[in-house]
Amino acid sequence: MLPFLTVLAEALIPDMHLPAERLSCDWRAGVASMGAPAIPAMLTREDGKNGKLAKLLDAAGVPCEELPCIAFERLDGRFELQSELQAAHIGWCVITSPESATVFLDSWRSSGSPAVRIASVGAGTAKVLKDAGIPPVFIPSKATAKTLASELPGDGPMQVLYPASKIASSTIEEGLRARGMAVRRLDTYTTIPAHWDSADSERAAAAQLVTFASPSAVRVWAERVGTTAVAVCIGETSATEASRVGFADVRFPSSPGVASWAVEVVAAWQTIYSRSS
């Protein structure tokens, strides 16, 4: 097997139901034969979070550049979270993003690492928790807030703790309250636009393919750059926001995970590169 296919195939072991033809071409050979200037894929996750996707794209011969759209800022709600975790009356604690998981874990450790049942929105968030020694008990059939709210086990006056981003939607608490659950939402952090200098703005203006892992990154890009690039999103939530703000070409994988996302980026990049050659 060709080197980059080996890397992707190994990464995609959990997602072997993906169409095999999506990994059937040697993009490196195609790139070399076309001779046109390489078009980088722009990676917009927060600083330090683009490494896995960049490695997979590099293995596939797809050039990429980091240009974070967002940064995180912690809020005082994380201290309230410590108190809630120590109260030991929680039915579920719902975690809906890797950053929420990171902030939660800090508060959880500070509160003495109490026993708590965790519900995670998807595989990426679950991995952060599992790697820290507190694997989720529940993951919904689809990695969306709406699905989690409808499928979370239990009904009636169950206590649910929901540490979240300040800018997160109210889908979780509204869905759970509609089922009679008592939800305590705590805003433990917020997302802010990342700083760009003039060189960053120039790079962004020339981009034809942009990757997004959150609705907030989508909004920052749209406000600063526009919506003419191809938007390749990590999942349906970000893709929905990209369509809402005006991106005409929005793509996302049917299976969760960075490896599946990389496959989608490779396919989109090859199409753009072919047209420019």
- All structural domains of the chain with their residue ranges: 3-69+194-276, 72-192
DSSP code of residue 46: P
Mean pLDDT on 213-230: 96
Q: What percent of the chain has pLDDT over 90?
A: 71
Q: In this predicted structure, what is the pLDDT of residue 88?
A: 64
pLDDT, tens digit (0-9, with 9 covering 90-100), for 180-221? 999 999 999 999 999 999 999 999 999 999 999 999 999 999
Mean pLDDT on 236-245: 95
Q: In this predicted structure, what is the pLDDT of residue 21?
A: 36
Which strand (E) or helix (H) includes residue 119?
A: strand 118-120
Q: In this predicted structure, what is the pLDDT of residue 213?
A: 93
Q: In this predicted structure, what is the pLDDT of residue 18?
A: 38
Residue 230 CA to residue 268 CA, distance in Å, equals 8
Please tell me whether residue 32 adopts helix, strand or coil conformation.
Answer: helix
Please tell me whether residue 229 adopts helix, strand or coil conformation.
Answer: coil
User: How do beta strands 250-251 and 159-165 pair?
Assistant: unpaired
CATH match for 3-69+194-276 among 3.30.70.260, 3.40.50.1370, 3.40.449.10, 3.40.50.10090:
3.40.50.10090
Q: In this predicted structure, what is the pLDDT of residue 39?
A: 84
Q: In this predicted structure, what is the pLDDT of residue 122?
A: 86
Q: In this predicted structure, what is the pLDDT of residue 154?
A: 87
Q: Are 70 and 220 in contact (CB under 8 A)?
A: yes
Residue 137 has pLDDT above 90, yes or no: yes
Q: Are 161 and 134 in contact (CB under 8 A)?
A: no
Q: Out of 9-13, 20-24, 45-49, which region has the weakest mean confidence (pLDDT)?
A: 20-24
Residue 33 has pLDDT above 60, yes or no: no
Confidence of residue 23 (pLDDT cuts 50, 70, 90): very low
CATH of domain 72-192: 3.40.50.10090
Q: In this predicted structure, what is the pLDDT of residue 3?
A: 42
Residue 277 has pLDDT above 80, yes or no: no
Q: Are 74 and 107 in contact (CB under 8 A)?
A: no
Mean pLDDT on 42-62: 94
Q: In this predicted structure, what is the pLDDT of residue 2?
A: 36
